[in-house]
């Protein structure tokens, strides 16, 4: 596996590449260009500048997260073909500068939902939490709450310029059910796969977060059956998965260990977001509330060693990164993306992997 670390760019971060390269085991950056409007082509000069910036620090940039999908593609409007052509050109431009994997999602309107971005744990650390009773019925209320509580950072998937037209977005999704959304995903993938094969770039879809419907919107990448459908519907290794362990585990019925093992064996997991979550009501499996915990098993509800072993024993050799760290030691920044706790996550992941290597 290749250990990576998500970085939003020097204009969007307090964290520096000099700090990241000091984390033992981190070889690569998972990059993005936050200011490119969804649907537009990522310019070559911007990509080249980002790659040069990363490589000048002795790191690689092989993974991009995310080249987001325009809503017209997800909804299936006539304008989608133009946006798909733009996406194909972006793939070509990224490949020219060494990108091998693109993490994306096909979620309706919102990329993810949490009830609080600054939940305080008993040890004084701050984290993200999902409590269903705290999710307002009106998504605009949640958007306003996020806008006021992000420490001045733009949140991926909650870009203010796109969500300024929230009512319109809900209107265009009104007639899109799960079947229609699946059809539109297949249409998109079939259109771009020849470009991916030509450029040797793998697409890796991120599971829905949470993996069930919110605000009446359809969700189609929720569980093992959906992932199996995805792989069969467009059956090429270039159509793969970003296996976000936390997102899959947000549905307690999902067996994250067997999902990791199966789809890694099948060669369809290209990228892993390795994290733990802690259910708030473990005695009630119908209650799916959780917070994002420290990575080690004892702090969450999932066995991290078992997850890593599922990957290791199945021959996983893709990219991996720690996900959604807490804010610790007085750090402030983009919620879920502080330096210190994610660095601890890297150390933990590397330690587990080394032990699995040496004991196998």
DSSP 111: S
Choice among 173, 324, 341, 348 that is catalytic:
324
- Assess whether 126 carries a catalytic annotation: no
DSSP 8-state class, residue 133: G
Out of 273, 291, 341, 348, the active site residue is 273
Phi, psi of 317 (to 5 degrees): -135, 30
Active-site pick, 126, 206, 295, 312: 206
337 carries an active-site annotation = yes
Alpha-carbon distances of 86 from 79, 92, 178, 187, 191, rounded to whole Å: 12, 10, 25, 15, 12
Q: What angle do CA 6, 9, 14 make, to 5 degrees?
A: 85
- What number of other Cβ atoms are within 10 A of residue 152's Cβ? 7
The yes-or-no answer on residue 324 being catalytic is yes
Q: Clarify whether 244 is annotated catalytic.
A: yes
Please name which of 31, 244, 17 lies closest in space to residue 156, comparing C-alpha atoms: 31
Active site residue 273: yes
Choice among 244, 245, 278, 346 that is catalytic: 244
317 has catalytic annotation: no
CA atoms within 13 A on the CB side of 301: 24
Q: Using alpha carbons, list the distances in angstroms from residue 1 to 64, 101, 335, 350.
A: 17, 14, 27, 10
Q: How many Å apart are CA 22 and CA 277, to the nearest integer?
A: 26
Which of the residues 71, 72, 323, 341 is marked catalytic?
A: 323
CB 214 within 8 A of CB 135: yes
Which one from 337, 340, 346, 348 is the annotated catalytic residue? 337
The catalytic site residues sit at 206, 244, 273, 323-324, 337
């Amino acid at each position: 596996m290749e250990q990576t670390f998500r970085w939003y760019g020097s204009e969007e971060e307090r964290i520096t590449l000099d700090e990241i390269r000091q984390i033992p085991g981190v070889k690569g950056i998972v990059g993005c260009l936050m200011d490119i409007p969804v649907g537009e082509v990522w310019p070559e000069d911007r990509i080249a500048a980002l790659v040069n910036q990363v490589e000048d620090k002795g790191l690689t940039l092989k993974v991009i997260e995310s080249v987001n999908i325009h809503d017209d593609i997800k909804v299936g409007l006539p304008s989608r073909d133009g946006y798909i052509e733009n996406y194909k050109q972006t793939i070509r431009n990224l490949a020219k500068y060494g990108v091998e994997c693109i993490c994306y999602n096909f979620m309706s309107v919102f990329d993810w939902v949490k009830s609080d971005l600054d939940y305080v744990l008993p040890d004084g650390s701050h984290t993200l939490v999902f409590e269903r009773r705290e999710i307002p019925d009106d998504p605009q209320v949640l958007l306003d709450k996020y806008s006021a509580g992000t420490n001045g950072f733009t949140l991926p998937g909650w870009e203010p310029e796109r969500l300024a037209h929230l009512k319109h977005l809900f209107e265009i999704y009104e007639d899109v059910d799960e079947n229609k959304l699946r059809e539109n995903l297949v249409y998109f993938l079939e259109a771009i796969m020849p470009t991916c094969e030509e450029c040797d770039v793998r697409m890796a879809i991120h599971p829905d977060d949470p993996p069930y419907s919110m605000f009446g919107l359809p969700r189609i990448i929720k569980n093992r059956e959906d992932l199996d459908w995805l792989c069969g519907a467009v059956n090429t290794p270039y159509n793969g998965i970003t296996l976000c362990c936390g997102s899959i585990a947000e549905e307690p019925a999902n067996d994250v260990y067997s999902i990791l093992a199966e789809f890694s064996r099948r060669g369809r997991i290209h990228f892993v977001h390795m994290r733990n979550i802690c259910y708030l009501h473990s005695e009630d499996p119908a209650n799916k509330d959780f917070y994002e915990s420290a990575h080690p098993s004892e702090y969450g509800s999932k066995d991290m060693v078992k997850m890593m072993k599922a990957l290791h024993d199945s021959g996983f050799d893709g990219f991996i990164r720690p996900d959604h760290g807490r804010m610790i030691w007085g750090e402030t920044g983009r919620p879920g993306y502080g330096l210190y706790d994610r660095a601890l996550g890297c150390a933990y992941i590397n330690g587990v992997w080394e032990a699995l290597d040496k004991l196998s």
